[in-house]
Structure 1
Amino acid sequence: MDLFDAIYQRRAIKGFDSEFVIPAADETKMLEAAIQAPTSFNIQHWRFVVVRDKALRQEMRKLGNDQAQITDASLLVIMTADTKAWQKNPARYWEKAPKEVADLLVGWMGPFHDGREWLQRDEAQRSIGMAMQTLMLSAKGLGYDSCPMIGFDIEAVAKLINLPADHVMGPMVAIGKGNKQPWPKPGQLALNDVVINNTF
């Protein structure tokens, strides 16, 4: 599918064929595309929790306002990120770069993040967002539908997946074969309403 077609055709689908199984090769292709998304300092701190256990999905549905896509979609991915990835062997993020570049960036990484917990969290959430959009567009490009979701009890779901203390939760993404038409597009703001040239 053409990139712009995927962008315009991607919608939040609320109903999925619960019998449909995404081939393993397509699942891998989508996740490999998702990790092409950019991250600050190439930290790659997103962690994709693929929920395969059906009983666990049922528990999550109870914590997610009974949204059917949590159990019915072929693939349920919880987007999380490691806010302390910058401390964990940071040289590995630049191992294929020229030494002078790697030394420079790895050297900056600590001072940039240290003591700035708000920034660590913000960067993690920004990275989650870019990876999530890449995942959804790759799904659409392969002919699948998706639904990003934040309507769930974040703290309770974090406990269910044993989220480490130094990680943050992002949205869930349900992916599969949609069997329900999306609502009509509610309307986009005009570019003039959202594009500011130079200053407000």
Structure 2
Amino acid sequence: MDLFTAIESRRAIKHYSNTQAVSEADFERIMNAVLLSPTSYNIQHWRFIRVTDPQQRARIQDAAWGQTQITEAAELIVLCADIQAWSDNPLRYWANTSSEVQAMMLPMLESFYQGREQLQRDEALRSSGMAAQTLMLAAKALGYDTCPMIGFDSEQVASLINLPPGHLISMIITLGKAARPANPRAGQLPLNEVLMENSF
């Protein structure tokens, strides 16, 4: 499927076939595509919990107020972010560059994020959002469906997955084959209402 078709046909699917799995090869291909998503300073904040245990799925479903896609979908991914990734051995983000590039980038990275807690959090969420979109479009390109979810008790899910300090949950993404299509699009704002030139 070409990129624009994937964009146009990707929808948030609420009901999944529980008999159609995502092949391991396809799952790995999707996740390897996700790793190519952009991040500021190449920090790669994202951390993914692939929930395969049915009992854990059921507990997360309870924390998501009973939403059935949690247990129906072939795959469940809790997309997390390491807020402190900027300070966690940052040399590894530039390991394949010259010493001159490393000597320039590492001090820049530190001075940009040091002491700026809101920026650290914002950056982690930005990175997670780009990773999520890559995941959903890669899945659609391979013929799978997804649903990004924020409708859950984040503290409860954090406890269930043993979320480490300094991390946050960005969203949950379900992945599989739709059992029924999404409802028609509820209402897209026209381009001329959201696209401005030079300023508001």
Q: TM-score, normalized by length of structure 2?
A: 0.98
Percent identity, aligned pairs only?
49
Equivalent position of 1:162 in the other structure: 162
1:74 aligns with 2:74: yes
**Structure 1 gap segments, 5+ residues each:** none
Correspondence list, 1:89-168, <5 A: 89-168=89-168
Measure the CA separation in 1 of the matches of 2:32 and 2:6: 17
1:149 maps to a residue whose letter is: M
1:37 aligns with 2:48: no
Equivalent position of 2:25 in the other structure: 25
Equivalent position of 2:83 in the other structure: 83
Measure the CA separation in 2 of the matches of 1:19 and 1:98: 50
User: What RMSD over aligned residues (CA atoms) do the two structures have, in Å?
Assistant: 0.8
Measure the CA separation in 2 of the matches of 1:53 and 1:170: 21
SS state at 2:120 partner: helix
Moved segments of 4+, more than 4 Å:
none
Return the offset for 1:31.
0.5
Measure the CA separation in 2 of the matches of 1:76 and 1:191: 33
Measure the CA separation in 1 of the matches of 2:65 and 2:193: 33
2:162 maps to a residue whose letter is: N
Return the offset for 1:121.
0.3
- Once the two structures are superposed, residues 126-183 of structure 1 have per-residue CA deviations (whole angstroms, 9 ceiling, x without a partner) of 0000000000000000000001100000110001000011101111000001111100
Equivalent position of 2:181 in the other structure: 181
Return the offset for 1:103.
1.7
- Once the two structures are superposed, residues 108-133 of structure 1 have per-residue CA deviations (whole angstroms, 9 ceiling, x without a partner) of 11111111110100000000000000
Measure the CA separation in 2 of the matches of 1:20 and 1:155: 31
**Structure 2 gap segments, 5+ residues each:** none
Measure the CA separation in 1 of the matches of 2:171 and 2:58: 17
Measure the CA separation in 2 of the matches of 1:11 and 1:22: 18
